[in-house]
Amino acid sequence: MSLAGVAQDLSDLRFHDPPYGEFTIARILKESEGRWTPLFRGVRRGFAGIGNILDSRSKLYRYLGVGSDEEAYEKLLNALERPGGLERVSAWRDVYREVESLYDLPMVRYYEKEARPYVTSGVVVGVGVDGTMNASIHRFSPIAARRAVVRLVPRHLYHIYKAGVEAGREVPIAVAWGVHPLVLLAAASSPPFGVFELGVASSLMGGLKVMELDNGAVAPFMASVVIEGHLTRELAEEGPFVDIVGVYDRVRRQPVVKVEKIYVLRDDAVVHYLLPAGLEHMLLMGFEREAKIWRAARSAVPRVKKVRLTRGGFGWLVAVISLAKSVEGDAKNALLAAFAAHPSLKIAIAVDEDIDPDDPVSVEWAIATRLRADRGIFVVPYVRGSTLDPVALNEEGLTHKMGIDATRPLDADPTLFERARIPD
């Protein structure tokens, strides 16, 4: 299904029309997140745009066809372990037209100090020396009509790129912009290297059609924009750009993409505007890690009620786990399991079942009333964390991590911790 088809099924659409100022789209995305889905008509001739298609769990669960956290976690984790097949479409060129320049695409800037317009939700498919394919989301910005710079973090596509450089070859890639939300979810996940994320999307969607490009890369069929090219050895300055933390990421030398072809849907080309550091960014980036924390915590403590990567931790660095412990030490085991399941995690908090991790006031209340600092706080020093952490000790994300056991001590009178309620 195209992104235009996805938009037609949404009940909370609000339409916006030109003229658009430089930051109009970003302002509307911020204003509407968690409230409605904006559709921007006429962002460029032949293009519309949409945002906040995955800015809430209710939207995500609707696409997944599930009704609870547990069902969603299980469905995603099963897809990661059992990816589906891909159906190659031979006549895909009939539904696409070609454009000459990256500047023909309706990219936008989101924040005032960003260096240039960006594609923030581009699914980049890279082909390794051995034919292994990886799909992941990377920010992408033009530096010339047929050249762009892409930010690579040290994960699977980076590994493919480094292997290509060492072998003296450029890496074939496809950049798909404007894809189904479940393709985005799959591309934001981290299965083991060698598991193709588009296969994960196929499992989630009950099948996925792809188009094979001349360079050997594939892209989801009916993506609004597909860019064919190669990652080169050339480097260029990338940034400044606002990342999920909500601050400006530093400028780095990053790989240059040599663009060979730019394909655009002839009809209903709808691109996806992903607001950096917005709710959609947080949910997409963190949901799969949340699922992995849930599974790991359940292996340590059978009764886990809810897991949340918190909004205050921008869906990435802070987790709250509500659970029922049977013996002292259960909560700490769950916290250690969370750190192992999500290596970027910086702070993990365990609370009792009566505390809602979605309510930061309730979590703070638990810390205030149930934490014994001498027993409940532990620090894991000098471990790899997140490169997004502004106070990490080096560029590789070396940090100290903190676990907080804010559960009720089992050796204390439980009536001292009962929350007062007014009856109906």
* Mean pLDDT, 10 residues at a time, the chain of 424 residues: 83 93 96 96 96 96 96 97 96 96 97 95 96 96 97 92 95 98 97 96 98 97 98 96 89 96 96 97 96 96 95 95 94 97 96 96 96 94 86 84 95 81 88
Cα distance between residue 41 and residue 25, in whole Å: 11
Boundary residue ending a domain (222, 237, 267): 267
Q: State the pLDDT at residue 392.
A: 82
Residues annotated as catalytic are: 243
Boundary residue ending a domain (244, 267, 290): 267
Same domain, 235 and 359: no
Q: Give the pair of three-digit tokens for residue 275.
A: 């607001």
Same domain, 257 and 311: no
Which residues neighbour 387 within 8 Å (Cβ) at sequence distance 6 or greater?
153, 154, 395, 396, 397
Q: State the pLDDT at residue 386.
A: 86
**Closest CA relative to residue 304, chosen from 338, 346, 343, 328:** 338
Cα distance between residue 225 and residue 271, in whole Å: 7
Structural domain total, the chain: 2
The parent domain of residue 363 ranges over 280-417
Boundary residue ending a domain (241, 267, 293): 267
Same domain, 163 and 305: no
Q: State the pLDDT at residue 11.
A: 84
Same domain, 233 and 356: no
Same domain, 245 and 295: no
424 located within any domain: no
Same domain, 191 and 298: no
